[in-house]
Amino acid sequence: MVHTPMIAPSILSADFARLADELAAVPTSDWIHVDVMDNHFVPNLTLGLPVVKSLLKVTDIPIDCHLMIEDPDRWAIEYAEAGAYNVTVHVEAAQDPIKLAKNLKAAGAKAGLSIKPGTPLEPYVDVLKHYDTLLVMSVEPGFGGQKFMVDVLEKVRQARRLVDTGHLKLLVEIDGGINAETIEQAAQAGVDCFVAGSAVYDAAEPGKAVEALRAQAAGAR
């Protein structure tokens, strides 16, 4: 387990007209989580590679790209080549997830694999041996501000056991409904990195919200 809990503010909840300022408002964040949606894999359209390239120019915080898109085998590599630190694809969309992981790493990024709330972990354990990050979705992907699904924490516990016993070597990340009410149970289940959107950017002081969430997660372990 990562020694200090990681917090990755999601800019899906930020002010899109002021993204550079919104990144500057959370200077102690571990990652900046960027949700790329194509209105095909999920019923929402957000932003793409040009915006990610612009973000990379204005922050030193590692960019964590979560690609909720069709055909990530074709498109994901460009995000790695642009300089994203971690590029996460959905197992439900990837045609050849093992080859894709290798290509992402060859392009200079960490490789992440995400699973929807209804997708079981077991069939993908061998695939995950090729990945650096497992992103467990705790809401249905597509929109921010949804209610946290407690049931997915069993998948987090499974993943944590596999990492702790050496079967997998990856970071366990969670995305969806993480806030002051839910982060402790996620931390207790074994999450390393917590994506938080409205819990950070709806706060009066987003930077302090990041610190408070990290402290809360650390205290719950």
Q: Is 118 labeled as ligand-binding?
A: no
Q: Alpha helices, DSSP H only, in the chain?
A: 19-24, 49-58, 72-82, 97-106, 125-128, 153-164, 183-189, 198-201, 206-220
**Active-site residue, selected from the candidate residues 30, 35, 38, 132:** 35
Residue at 44: amino acid letter: N
**Is 207 labeled as ligand-binding?**
no
Which position among 30, 64, 175, 192 bears the catalytic label? Answer: 175
Closest CA to 171 of 186, 161, 182, 160: 160
User: Does the annotation place 10 within a ligand binding site?
Assistant: yes
CA dihedral 183, 188, 191, 194 (to 10 degrees): 10
Residue 84's nearest CA partner among 14, 21, 34, 22 is 34
- Residue 60 falls in the annotated catalytic set: no
Name the residue type at position 11. I
Residue 138 annotated as lining a ligand binding site: no
3 is an annotated ligand-binding site residue: no
User: Is residue 48 a known part of a binding site?
Assistant: no
40 is in an annotated binding site: no
143 is in an annotated binding site: yes
Residues comprising the binding site for substrate?
Answer: 10, 66, 142-145, 175-177, 197-198
Active-site residue numbers? 35, 175
> Which residue positions form the known binding site?
10, 33, 35, 66, 142-145, 175-177, 197-198
Q: List residues forming the annotated binding site for a divalent metal cation.
A: 33, 35, 66, 175
